[in-house]
Amino acid sequence: MHKYLFINVFLVFSALLGTSAARAQTHWQFDVPFVPTPHVVIEEMLRLAKVTPQDFVMDLGSGDGRVLISAAQKFGARGIGVDLDGELIAESIESAKVAGVSDRVQFLQQDLFKTDLGQATVITMYLLPGVMARLQPRLLELKPGTRLVSHDFRIGDWKPDVTTQIRKNAFLWIVPAKVEGRWQLTMALPGGEHRMDLELRQKYQEIDGFGQFGDRPSQIWEPRLSGDRLSFVIVDDRDRDNEAALYFEGQIKGDVIEGQLRRGAGKAQTVHGWRAQRVSAVKP
């Protein structure tokens, strides 16, 4: 009797062990296991990204589809979700039908690393750090101004533009334009057109640099880069008795920046146009 009891216990244990191993293999066959994001965190992510009906949202590792369905249902957006798990894709498609947003969202079973991200204005993610780091180069090549929002995990060493915490961390990045390099700037100041050499250095959205009137270097103050919008301040000190701050704001379009600058402050302030052309990249 004891012999048969031992054999039966052994067979049951072996069966359970085999089942657990199979489940573990299924669970870890993807780079990111499915862990659903709480709805209140989803709403915060979409709020942080300022999603509107004009946005096209791409959810990478879309799981059961809840992020994209919320974006369509509560914010009026359109979009695509991608995931490797066919069962979750089928569940997402059915959930979108129930929510009445099937005409606004699509779910595809495919590798996010092989997905064309170019049509996205907003990308949502709940991915592990290693996956985020692998994605980073592709994300940086997206159109400047594209908003990236993540639940819990950051994109490598790229500092977020905004961080909030409502139950969980939510991070927002705005893809920056590439402004690093040497630029030749022209501006219509009082007394005629003036030229200035401008050198900008960049690490993600963080920038610094200096301008130069002739052989007089001028430090850049308060530099800010958000998507394709650039602003900075230079002090025009060519005449020490009549120094004035030049407040530059401009839009970056490839190798050209155009915008307006305000000279001085208060009643003495004047507004002028400016334009910069990139002439070379900064050498490392």
For 146-187, write each residue's pLDDT tens digit: 999 999 999 999 999 999 999 999 999 999 999 999 999 999
**Mean pLDDT along residues 133-149:** 97
- For residue 190, the model assigns a pLDDT of 73
Asked if residue 12 has pLDDT above 90, the reply is: no
The residue type of 284 is P
Q: Which pLDDT score is estimated for 238?
A: 75
Are 104 and 79 within one domain? yes
Calculate mean pLDDT across residues 18-26.
37
Does residue 61 lie in a domain region? yes
Domain boundary among 123, 140, 174: 174
Residues 111 and 187 in one domain: no
With 0-12 / 13-18 / 19 or more C-beta atoms within 10 angstroms meaning exposed / middle / buried, residue 217 is exposed
Indicate the helix (H) or strand (E) that contains 245.
strand 244-253
SS3 assignment, position 139: helix
Distance between CA atoms of 172 and 160, rounded to whole angstroms? Answer: 6
Backbone angles phi, psi at 62, to 5 degrees: -75, -10
195 and 117 both lie in a single domain: no
Confidence of residue 212 (pLDDT cuts 50, 70, 90): confident
Say how many CA atoms lie within 13 Å of 167 toward its Cβ: 10
- What is the pLDDT, as a whole number, of residue 58? 98
Residues 224 and 125 grouped into a single domain: no
Q: How far is CA 230 from CA 236, 276, 282, in A?
A: 19, 12, 18
Q: State pLDDT tens for residues 236-263.
A: 887 777 888 999 999 999 999 999 999 9
Which domain range does residue 225 map to?
A: 181-280
In a domain? residue 135: yes
Domain boundary among 174, 191, 221: 174
- Position 283 scores a pLDDT of 54
Q: Does some domain include residue 32?
A: no
Task: List for the chain the helix, strand, coil content (%; round to 5).
Answer: 30, 40, 30
pLDDT greater than 70 at residue 114: yes
Q: Is residue 27 part of a domain?
A: no
- Name the more confident of 233 and 190: 233
User: HEC string of 82-127?
Assistant: EECCHHHHHHHHHHHHHHCCCCCEEEEECCHHHCCCCCCCEEEECC
Number of structural domains the chain divides into? 2
Identify the residue whose tokens are 């900075």: 232
- Positive/negative CA dihedral, 49, 54, 59, 64: positive
pLDDT band at 18; cut points 50, 70, 90:
very low
Instruction: For residues 170 and 214, state if they share a domain.
Output: no
Instruction: For residues 45 and 98, state if they share a domain.
Output: yes
Q: Of 174, 204, 231, which closes a domain? A: 174
31 three-class SS = coil
* 232: in domain: yes
Q: Do 94 and 167 share a domain, yes or no? A: yes
Question: What amino acid is encoded at 226 in this protein?
Answer: S
| pLDDT above 90 as % of the chain | 76
